[in-house]
Amino acid sequence: MRDTNPSPSAAVTDPARPAPDPADPAEITELRRVAVHLAQTAAAHVRARRPEVFGAGEDAQDAVRAKSSPTDPVTVVDTETEQLIRRLLAELRPGEAVLGEEGGGSLGDDRQIVWVVDPIDGTVNFMYGIPAYAVSVAAMRGGRSLAGAVVDVAAARTYSAGLGAGATRTGPDGIANPLRCNEVDSLAMTLLATGFGYGAARRARQGRLIGELLPHVRDIRRIGSAALDLCMVAAGRADAHYEHGLNTWDWAAGALIAAEAGARLVLPPAGTTGKTGELVVAAAPGIATELLELFDRLGVSEAIAES
Ligand code: IPD
């Protein structure tokens, strides 16, 4: 198992690639400011559009289409929100690359800043009106997240972090509080958040693994947004999150936020597509070793590739 972040202040790194030049603190502050601005502006758009597209009496049939499977949706709001973020980036950071869930892109080379965007993480919740969906924006270089912001749209809460600069949550009142993982030190008391992919074969295996894990932990949560799960680990509202087959845009901001709040991370190389089914983990430091050992014993550490 690749454990990419043994110490709380360590970076979200990809050990398969050489470390890029260290970013200077002023650059990180500016990248974080831009990530927060983009995610908050996009979240305001998502918030305004939901009642227009999915409100009572609206016929939302034309607003949704299927992606990788009939249960993997993209809505018009996902598409237009990513376009909004791309337009703003072109004005604020002209020439910088973007990797987005809906519009694609690449991570570029080790010297380039790449903006990694998930316009709505938790699209199924968004469609159903379950208040757990988020906009996620991260600035990466050389496979490493330098800054990131996740906005919980319904709660109007902004989670953000800069590499080496800590993580905060800012409420709708504008007050920012530093984030710290729970001090839990026993697996039996661990609240474990997870998620499932969209393909039936992967889900079947994920379901069997949940059954194996459940007797070892306090309980399991499946909230429906990996980005928010990672922020919940940072905020002490869950003790760990794991999932197979996430894409880089699902974790690029949230994993940095969790790491800066003290979590230990296991990450695939940035840019790995969800198809290979590799594992993402963020765990509170007091239970991380025990949890990763259990994952090894039960086979959770193995990738679940799409068949
Ligand atoms: C999904 C959510 C979900 C996770 C899925 C992701 P999306 O993102 O993060 O919690 O279990 O694997 O694909 O599709 O809503 O952007």
pLDDT of residue 271: 84
pLDDT tier for residue 21 given thresholds of 50, 70 and 90? low
Q: Of all protein residues, whose CA lies closest to atom 4 belonging to ligand 1? A: 195
Q: Are 245 and 202 in contact (CB under 8 A)?
A: yes
Q: Write out pLDDT tens, residues 242-258.
A: 999 999 999 999 999 99
Could you tell me which CATH class the domain 187-298 is placed in? alpha beta
Residues 19-37 have a mean pLDDT of 88
Whole-number average pLDDT of the chain:
92
Q: Write out pLDDT tens, residues 131-144.
A: 999 999 999 999 99
Distance 24 CA to ligand 1 centre (A): 32
Q: Which atom of ligand 1 is nearest to the CA of 120?
A: 16
Question: Binding site for Mg(2+): residue ranges?
Answer: 101, 118, 120-121, 250
Q: Which of the following CATH numbers is that of domain 25-178: 3.30.540.10, 3.90.380.10, 1.10.10.10, 3.20.20.140?
A: 3.30.540.10
pLDDT of residue 109: 85
Q: Which atom of ligand 1 is nearest to the CA of 121?
A: 16
Q: Are 13 and 143 in contact (CB under 8 A)?
A: yes
Residues 84-101 have a mean pLDDT of 97
Contacts of residues 163-166 at CB distance under 8 Å and 24 or more positions apart, as own/partner, are: 163/11, 163/12, 163/23, 163/28, 163/256, 163/260, 164/9, 164/11, 164/25, 164/28, 164/260, 165/25, 165/28, 165/29, 165/32, 165/260, 166/260, 166/261
Higher pLDDT, 132 or 73: 132
Residues 169-179 have a mean pLDDT of 97
| Domain parsing of the chain, residue ranges | 25-178, 187-298
Which residues are near ligand 1 (CB < 6 Å)? 101, 118, 121-123, 195-197, 224-226, 243, 246, 250
Q: Are 242 and 280 in contact (CB under 8 A)?
A: yes
Statement: residue 33 has pLDDT above 50? yes
Statement: residue 197 has pLDDT above 80? yes
Residues 34-46 have a mean pLDDT of 98
3-class SS at 54? helix
Statement: residue 176 has pLDDT above 50? yes
Statement: residue 36 has pLDDT above 90? yes
Statement: residue 9 has pLDDT above 50? no
